[in-house]
C-alpha cells in the first residue's frame, strides 16, 4: 500500500493523478445527495445543513477545525508507522493514556508555568511512545505481530485509565466521571470565539511540518523510509533492522500521546472517562485518506472533520438520525480509501 | 507412441530486458512418457513450460494438444485442456486440509452453493488410493513434510484429471529418501498413460527416470534424445555448450598480490537441513584478481553470497579481511568496513523501487550524505547525476527507481556498489536479466576493477561468464569446493570439465570430503 501511494504521488503526470480524487469526490457528493433524497423527508434542509452547516457560523466552523486537531496528530502517528513498515492500531489507548498522563502531570506541576505545560505534553508523548514502542520491541524480539499487540495493549490501557479516572483520581466536585481540571494558566487560548477552537491548531500544523521534514530531510527519516519500503534492501545497505522495528512505533505512539495532551490543554481541561473514544480510529481513517503523506494529513483531517460536523449538523437541524449520518460518513470514507478509484488515470487498474 | 503435445517454434521475448528466453523452440511430448527438460539456469526451460501452462503468452509459435491447435491463455485454460503444473515453490494453503487444498477452485457443490466437505474428502481419498499416496484427505497441510506437500500438489493435478503433468525441479526441495517414492509415483503415472515433463539439471535424475531427454541452451533447443542412447557426459556437454570467448581486455595477472578476503573451512549448518549448506569451504581472494565461484543452483552459491554479504552467520570456521577476523560481522558492520556487493536479486535485495534513484544510490554511503543528521540533498543530487552519466543510465535523480527499465535499475545498483568499493567487491549473478550489451558493460567494469587492484569475488552459475572473466575458479558442489582451477590450468579448462565438477561427476582429490 505504501509502495503504491508513493508511485502516485511522485508520478510525473500530476494532473492525471488528480483524476482519481476528483472522481471520488464527485461520487461521494452524488451518493450523499441520493441518500438524503431516499432517507430524509426534508432532503433540501438536510443537504443544506450537511454541506453548509459546518461553515455557516464561526461557532460551527471553529468547532470543526477543533475536531481536526487530534485527527492531525493521529493521522501523522499512523503515517509515520506505515512509512517505517509497521502498523499501529493502538491509537485509541495511546491518545487516552497520553491525555491522562498530561492531565495528571499538569495537576502535579501546576506551579511550574510554561515549563510545566511543556513538560506535561512531553510526558504524554513519552507514555504514548512507550506503549506503542513496546509492541515494536516485541516484534523485534519475538517477531510478534504489532497489529495485534498494539490493539491489545491499547484495550488494556483504556481499562486501566478508566479505573483511575472513575476511582482514586476522580474529581469529587463534579457529577462527571472525570479528573480535576488543569489550572487555567495551562489551557490553550481560544482563537475563534465563541467556538472551542484553541491555539493547539498551530501546534498541529507545526507537527505536520516537523514530521514532513523528519521523513524527507533527515538521515534517520531516510533510513526509516527505506526500511518501510523494502526491509531487505535496508538490511543490505547496513541499516539496523532491529531499531527500525521499534523506532517508527515509538514516534507513532508519541504523536498519538501528544495529540491526547493537546486535546486536554485545548478542549477538555480534564480527563473525562473515555472522552477520546473513536479519535484513534478516526486518525487511522485520516491517514488512509492522506495515503500516509504527512502534508496530505491536513486536508484529509479537515475533510474528515467537515464530513463529521456536517453529519452532526444535519442531525441537529433535520430529521436525519445518528445511524443515517453514520452510514453517510462510512460510505464517503469507503469511497475515499478505495485504492482502485485512487489510481484512476495514473495507471491501468488490473482487477 | 501417440503425441500428447507438440510445441512448434515458440518465441518468447521479455520486453523489459529484450531477453529472448525462448528463440524458436520446438518440443514434442509423447503419451505415457517421462521427458526430462534439461539445461543450465537461464536456458529457457521454465519459460517454455510457463508457455505450455498458460502463464506466459508466446510472441509466436503454435501449440497442439492431442493434435488440436490451441492458444493457451491461462492456467485454468491449461487445466481444462488436461495440462497441470507443479511449481518448485508450493502453492498451498497451510491451514487447510489436503482435501480442501486439492479441491480449491473446483469444489464439489452441495445445493449449488454450499461446499460439500464430506464429498471432497471422498473424492480426494479416491485419488489418493488410486495412486497409492501416503497421506490422507483430512490431514492438515501444516502437519505434512515437504515431500508430502509435493504429493498434495500432484494430487491437485490428478484430481483435475490432467493428462500432461509438468514438474519444475521437483527434487530441489526434497531429501534423498523422499526422492525415491516421488520417482516411483511418476513412473506409475506414466505407465498409466499420463505424460510427464520434468524440468531438471540433475544428470542422475535424467538417467534414472526419463524415457527421453530434451536439452535446451540459451533459449534454443539443442535436441531431443532417447535417454538410454546418450550418456551423462554427452548430456553435460550439450547442456554447457562450447565456450564463447568474450574477448575482454584483461591485463596480465599480476604477481604482486596480497590476500584480501580469506575464508578458512567455513561451514553453515541450519536446523532441519539434512546436510550443511556450506561445508569446509576455504579460499583466499587476492588483490587484482577475479575469483570465480561456479556451481549449479542449490549447491551453495546462494549461501556463499549470503555469508559474504553478512546476511548469514557461519557455524564454524572463520573469515578474515586484511588479516582482521570478520567472522561475526553483520551487514551493517561489513558495510562500514567497505563491503561492496551486487546481490543476485537486484530488485528485492538491491533496491527499493518506491524510493528515488538518488535515495537508492546512497543506501550504503548515507553517512557521507548527511551532516548533523540532516540529508545533504544537493550533494545527493549531484552524486546521482554524476553516476547516472558515468554508467549511462536513462533516468534522473528524483525519479522513483521503479519507473526505470529493468536494465537501468540493474545499472543503478551496479553503479552504487562500484562507487562504494574499497578493496573487494562481491558480484552475484551479475548478468541475470541483462541483455547482451548491458552484460558486456558489466564485464568491462568488472575487469576495470580487477585491473585497478580490487579483489573481485564473482559468484555465477553462468559458465561462459566464469570462463572468460575469472583468474581462478572454485567449483561448488553440494556445499563444498569440488575443484579449484588456477594457474596455467585456467587457460585450458573446458566447459565440459567444469560441468563434470559442477554436476558431481568428478571431484579434485584434495578437495573431496568423502
Structure confidence at residue B1 (pLDDT): 66
Query: How far does the CA of residue B349 sit from the closest CA of chain A (Å)?
Result: 5
Q: Are residues B143 and B220 in the same domain?
A: yes
How, if at all, do strands B259-268 and B316-321 pair? antiparallel
> Shortest Cα distance from B289 to chain A (angstroms)?
25
Q: Which of B193-202, B267-276, B448-457 has the lowest mean pLDDT?
A: B267-276
Task: Looking at the complex, report in whole angstroms how far the Cα of residue A251 sits from the nearest Cα belonging to chain B.
Answer: 17
**Does B483 have pLDDT greater than 70?**
yes
Name the range with the highest mean pLDDT among A175-179, B143-147, B163-167.
B163-167
Using pLDDT thresholds of 50, 70 and 90, give the confidence band for residue A12: very low
Is B251 in the same domain as B364? no
Residues B137 and B285 in one domain: no
Q: How far apart are CA B382 and CA B355, in angstroms?
A: 17
- pLDDT grade, residue B248 (50/70/90)? low
Does B41 lie in the same domain as B110?
Answer: yes
Phi, psi of A10, deg, nearest 5: -105, 15
* Residue at B248 is within a domain: yes
**Residue A348 within a domain:** no
User: Is B402 in the A-facing interface, judged by CB distances under 8 Å?
Assistant: yes
**Which grid cell is B466?**
566464469
CA torsion sign, B346 to B495 to B451 to B246?
A: negative
Q: What is the DSSP string of B399-421?
A: SBGGGS-HHHHHHHHHHHHHHH-
Q: Does residue B345 sit within a domain? A: no
- Mean pLDDT, residues B324-330 taken together: 87
Average pLDDT over residues B8-33: 87
Are residue B475 and residue B332 in the same domain, yes or no? yes
Q: What is the C-alpha separation between A222 and A228, in angstroms, rounded?
A: 10
d(CA A224, CA A83) in angstroms, rounded, equals 7
Distance CA B35, CA B38 (A): 9
Cell (9 digits) for A236: 543490505
More confident position, B501 or A16: B501
Per the CB < 8 Å rule, is B363 touching A237? yes
CA separation for the pair A264, A286 (Å, rounded): 21
**In-domain check, residue B209:** yes
Average pLDDT, integer, range B184-188: 91
Average pLDDT rounded to a whole number, residues A159-177: 89
Whole-number pLDDT of residue B513: 43
Same domain, B431 and B399: no
Terminal-residue alpha carbon distance, chain B: 44
Which residue has better confidence, A340 or B499? B499
In tens, the pLDDT along B358-408 reads: 999 999 989 889 999 999 999 999 999 999 998 888 888 998 998 887 778
The DSSP secondary-structure symbol of B166 reads E
Say how far apart CA A299 and CA A79 lie, in whole Å. Answer: 14
Query: Which stretches of chain A are DSSP H helices?
Result: 2-9, 14-17, 19-39, 43-56, 58-83, 91-108, 114-142, 146-166, 200-217, 219-229, 231-236, 243-263, 279-289, 294-317, 322-336, 339-342
Averaged pLDDT, B20-40: 91
Residues 6+ apart with CB under 8 A from A126: A254, A257
Tell me what pLDDT residue A348 has: 41
β-strands B259-268, B68-70 pairing: unpaired
CATH number reported for the structural domain that contains residue A234 in this entry: 1.10.3470
Is residue A240 exposed (0-12), middle (13-18) or buried (19+ Cβ within 10 Å)?
middle
In a shared domain, residues B449 and B503: yes
Give the pairing of strands B472-477 and B289-294.
parallel
In a domain, A300, yes or no: yes
- What is the reported pLDDT for A7? 40
B428 neighbors B305 (Cβ within 8 angstroms) = yes
CA dihedral B359, B361, B367, B370 (to 10 degrees): -40
How far, CA to CA in Å, does A318 sit from each of A325, A328, A331, B402?
11, 15, 20, 51
Which residue, among A217, A222, A347, would best test binding to B if mutated, counting the most B CBs under 10 Å from its CB?
A222
pLDDT band at B292 (very low <50, low <70, confident <90, very high): very high
Dihedral in degrees, nearest 10, Cα atoms A85, A87, A88, A89: 170
Radius of gyration of chain A (CA): 21
B411 and B430 in a single domain? The answer is no
User: Are A83 and A244 spatial neighbours (Cβ–Cβ below 8 Å)?
Assistant: no
The predicted pLDDT at position B98 comes to 93
Substitution target from A3, A219, A243 for chain B, most B beta carbons within 10 A:
A219
- What pLDDT sits at residue A11? 42
Give the 3-state secondary structure of B439-493: HHHHHHHHHHHHHCCCEEEEECCCHHHHHHHCCEEEEEECCEEEEEECCCHHHHC
Residue A215 CA to residue B397 CA, distance in Å, equals 18
Indicate the residue of B335, B336, B373 with minimum beta-carbon distance to A219: B373
Domain presence at residue A322: yes
What's the pLDDT tens digit per position in A23-36?
Answer: 877 888 888 888 88
**All three cell numbers of B164:** 500432461
Contact A236 B343 (CB under 8 A): yes
Residue B232 near residue B217, CB atoms below 8 Å = no
Which among B376, B398, B420 is the end of a domain?
B420
**A201 is in which domain, residue-wise?**
2-342
Q: Tell me which residue range forms the domain holding B195.
A: 3-240
pLDDT value at residue A5: 40
Contacts of B211 (CB under 8 A, 6+ apart): B33, B34, B35, B190, B226, B227
Q: How many domains does chain A have?
A: 1
A142 touches chain B (CB under 8 A): no
pLDDT of residue A16: 58
Could you say which of B240, B272, B300 is where a domain stops?
B240
pLDDT at residue A1 in the model: 37
Say if residue B504's pLDDT is above 50: yes
Domain assignment present for A223: yes
Most confident of A12-26, A201-215, B163-177, B263-277: A201-215
b/e map A95-123, b = 16+ CB within 10 Å: bbbbbbbbbbbbbebbebeeebbebbbbb
Contact B447, B469 (CB under 8 A): yes
Other CB atoms within a 10 A radius of the CB of residue A335 amount to 17
CA atoms within 13 A on the CB side of A257: 29
Q: State residue A345's pLDDT score.
A: 54
Q: Which three cell numbers stand for residue B89?
A: 515453490
Select the residue of B335, B343, B354 nearest A229 (Cβ to Cβ).
B354
- Cell numbers for B472: 581462478
CB-CB neighbors (< 8 A) of B356 in chain A: 10
In this complex, do A3 and B356 lie within 8 Å of one another by their Cβ atoms? no
- Would B510 be classed as within a structural domain? yes
Query: Dihedral of the CA atoms A339, A342, A346, A349 (nearest 10)?
Result: 40
Q: Is pLDDT at B514 greater than 50 in this prediction?
A: no
Tell me, what CATH number does B185's domain have? Answer: 3.40.50.300
3-class secondary structure, B502 = helix
Domain annotation covers residue A347: no
For the cut 90, the answer to whether the pLDDT of residue B164 exceeds it is: yes
pLDDT in tens, A193-215: 888 888 899 999 999 999 999 99
Find the range with the poorest average confidence among A184-188, B14-18, B504-508: B14-18
Query: How far apart (Å, rounded) are the C-alpha atoms in residues B98 and B156?
Result: 9
Q: Average the pLDDT over each of A3-7, B251-255, B393-397 and give the range with the smallest value.
A: A3-7
Percent of chain A whose pLDDT exceeds 70: 91
**A181 in a structural domain:** yes
Residue of A nearest to B377 (CA): A217
In a domain, A22, yes or no: yes
- Pick from B420, B436, B452: which residue ends a domain? B420
| pLDDT level of residue B247 (50, 70, 90 thresholds) | low
CA distance A178 to B502: 76
| d(CA B335, nearest CA chain A) in Å | 6
Establish if B344 belongs to a structural domain.
no
pLDDT at A134: 96
What pLDDT, on a 0 to 100 scale, did the predictor assign at position B266? 92
| Residue B255 and residue B232 in one domain | no
The torsion of the CA quartet B13, B19, B23, B25, rounded to 10 degrees, works out to -80
Minimal CA separation from A293 to chain B, in Å:
14
Alpha-carbon distances of B340 from A123, B83, B364, rounded to whole Å: 44, 45, 9
| One domain, residues B139 and B285 | no
* Number of domains composing chain B: 3
* 3-state SS class at B239: helix
Query: What's the pLDDT score for residue B455?
Result: 92
Across all residues in chain B, what is the average pLDDT? 87
Q: How much is the pLDDT for B249?
A: 63
Residue of B nearest to A232 (CA): B349
Quick one: B144 and B24 in the same domain?
A: yes
Amino acid at each position: 500500500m505504501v509502495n503504491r501511494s508513493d508511485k502516485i504521488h511522485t508520478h510525473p503526470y500530476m494532473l492525471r493523478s488528480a483524476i482519481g480524487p476528483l472522481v471520488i469526490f464527485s461520487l461521494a457528493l452524488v451518493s450523499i445527495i441520493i441518500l438524503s433524497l431516499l432517507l430524509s423527508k426534508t432532503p433540501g434542509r438536510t443537504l443544506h445543513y450537511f454541506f453548509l452547516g459546518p461553515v455557516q457560523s464561526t461557532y460551527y466552523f471553529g468547532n470543526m477545525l477543533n475536531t481536526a486537531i487530534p485527527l492531525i496528530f493521529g493521522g501523522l502517528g499512523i503515517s509515520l508507522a506505515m512509512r517505517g513498515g509497521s502498523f499501529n492500531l493502538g491509537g485509541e489507548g495511546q491518545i487516552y493514556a497520553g491525555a491522562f498522563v498530561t492531565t495528571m502531570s499538569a495537576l502535579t506541576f501546576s506551579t511550574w508555568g510554561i515549563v510545566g505545560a511543556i513538560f506535561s505534553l512531553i510526558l504524554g508523548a513519552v507514555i504514548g511512545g512507550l506503549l506503542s514502542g513496546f509492541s515494536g520491541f516485541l516484534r523485534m524480539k519475538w517477531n510478534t505481530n504489532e497489529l495485534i499487540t498494539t490493539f491489545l495493549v491499547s484495550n488494556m490501557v483504556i481499562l486501566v485509565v478508566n479505573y483511575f479516572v472513575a476511582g482514586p483520581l476522580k474529581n469529587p466536585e463534579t457529577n462527571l466521571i472525570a479528573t480535576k481540571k488543569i489550572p487555567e494558566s495551562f489551557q490553550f487560548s481560544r482563537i475563534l470565539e465563541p467556538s472551542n477552537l484553541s491555539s493547539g491548531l498551530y501546534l498541529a500544523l507545526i507537527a505536520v511540518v516537523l514530521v514532513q521534514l523528519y521523513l524527507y530531510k533527515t538521515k534517520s527519516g531516510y533510513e526509516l523510509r527505506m526500511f518501510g519500503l523494502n526491509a531487505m534492501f535496508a538490511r543490505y545497505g547496513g541499516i539496523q533492522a532491529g531499531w527500525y522495528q521499534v523506532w517508527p512505533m515509538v514516534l507513532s505512539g508519541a504523536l498519538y500521546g501528544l495529540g491526547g495532551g493537546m486535546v486536554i490543554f485545548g478542549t477538555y481541561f480534564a480527563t473525562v472517562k473515555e472522552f477520546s473514544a473513536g479519535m484513534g480510529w478516526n486518525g487511522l481513517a485520516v491517514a488512509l485518506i492522506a495515503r500516509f503523506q504527512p502534508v496530505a494529513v491536513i486536508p484529509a483531517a479537515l475533510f474528515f472533520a467537515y464530513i463529521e460536523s456536517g453529519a452532526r449538523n444535519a442531525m441537529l437541524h433535520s430529521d436525519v438520525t445518528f445511524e443515517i449520518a453514520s452510514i453517510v460518513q462510512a460510505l464517503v470514507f469507503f469511497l475515499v480509501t478505495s485504492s482502485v478509484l485512487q489510481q484512476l488515470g495514473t495507471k491501468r487498474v488490473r482487477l | 507412441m501417440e503425441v500428447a503435445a507438440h510445441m512448434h517454434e515458440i518465441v518468447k521475448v521479455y520486453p523489459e530486458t529484450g531477453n529472448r528466453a525462448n528463440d524458436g523452440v520446438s518440443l514434442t511430448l509423447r503419451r505415457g512418457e517421462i521427458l526430462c527438460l534439461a539445461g543450465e539456469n537461464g536456458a529457457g526451460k521454465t519459460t517454455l513450460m510457463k508457455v505450455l501452462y498458460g502463464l506466459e503468452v508466446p510472441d509466436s509459435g503454435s501449440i497442439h494438444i492431442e493434435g488440436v491447435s490451441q492458444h493457451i491463455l491461462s492456467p485454468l485454460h491449461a487445466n481444462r485442456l488436461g495440462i497441470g503444473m507443479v511449481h518448485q515453490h508450493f502453492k498451498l494453503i497451510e491451514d487447510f486440509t489436503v482435501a480442501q487444498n486439492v479441491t480449491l477452485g473446483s469444489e464439489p457443490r452441495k445445493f449449488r452453493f454450499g461446499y460439500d466437505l464430506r464429498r471432497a474428502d471422498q473424492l480426494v481419498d479416491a485419488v489418493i488410493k488410486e495412486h497409492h499416496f501416503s497421506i490422507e484427505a483430512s490431514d492438515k497441510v501444516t502437519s505434512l513434510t515437504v515431500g508430502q506437500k509435493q504429493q498434495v500438489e500432484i494430487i491437485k493435478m490428478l484430481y483435475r484429471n490432467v493428462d500432461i503433468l509438468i514438474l519444475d525441479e521437483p527434487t530441489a526441495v526434497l531429501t534423498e529418501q523422499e526422492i525415491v517414492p516421488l520417482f516411483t509415483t511418476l513412473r506409475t503415472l506414466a505407465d498409466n498413460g499420463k505424460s510427464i515433463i520434468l524440468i531438471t539439471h540433475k544428470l542422475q535424475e535424467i538417467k534414472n527416470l526419463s524415457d527421453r531427454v530434451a536439452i535446451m541452451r540459451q533459449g534454443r533447443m539443442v535436441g531431443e534424445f532417447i535417454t538410454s542412447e546418450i550418456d551423462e557426459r554427452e548430456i553435460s556437454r550439450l547442456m554447457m555448450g562450447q565456450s564463447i570467448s568474450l574477448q575482454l581486455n584483461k591485463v596480465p595477472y599480476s604477481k604482486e598480490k596480497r590476500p584480501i578476503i580469506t575464508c578458512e573451512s567455513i561451514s553453515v549448518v541450519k536446523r532441519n537441513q539434512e546436510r550443511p549448506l556450506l561445508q569446509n569451504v576455504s579460499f583466499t581472494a587476492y588483490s587484482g584478481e577475479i575469483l570465480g565461484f561456479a556451481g549449479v543452483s542449490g549447491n551453495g552459491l546462494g549461501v556463499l553470497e549470503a555469508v559474504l554479504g553478512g546476511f548469514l552467520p557461519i557455524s564454524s570456521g572463520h573469515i578474515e579481511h586484511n588479516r582482521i577476523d570478520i567472522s561475526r560481522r553483520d551487514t551493517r558492520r561489513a558495510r562500514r568496513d567497505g563491503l561492496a556487493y551486487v546481490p543476485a536479486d537486484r530488485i528485492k535485495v538491491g533496491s527499493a523501487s518506491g524510493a528515488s534513484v538518488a535515495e537508492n544510490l546512497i543506501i550504503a554511503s548515507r553517512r557521507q550524505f548527511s551532516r548533523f543528521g540532516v540529508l545533504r540533498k544537493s550533494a545527493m543530487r549531484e552524486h546521482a547525476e554524476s553516476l547516472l552519466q558515468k554508467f549511462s543510465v536513462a533516468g534522473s535523480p528524483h525519479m522513483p527507481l521503479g519507473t526505470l527499465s529493468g536494465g537501468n535499475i540493474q545499472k543503478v545498483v551496479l553503479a552504487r556498489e562500484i562507487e562504494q568499493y574499497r578493496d573487494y567487491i562481491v558480484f552475484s549473478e551479475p548478468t541475470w536479466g541483462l541483455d547482451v550489451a548491458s552484460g558486456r558493460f558489466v564485464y568491462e567494469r568488472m575487469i576495470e576493477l580487477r585491473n585497478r587492484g580490487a579483489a573481485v569475488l564473482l559468484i555465477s552459475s553462468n559458465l561462459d561468464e566464469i570462463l572468460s572473466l575469472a583468474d581462478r575458479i572454485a567449483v561448488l558442489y553440494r556445499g563444498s569446493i569440488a575443484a579449484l582451477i588456477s594457474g596455467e590450468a585456467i587457460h585450458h579448462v573446458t566447459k565440459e570439465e567444469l560441468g563434470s565438477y559442477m554436476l558431481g561427476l568428478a571431484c579434485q582429490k584434495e578437495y573431496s570430503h568423502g
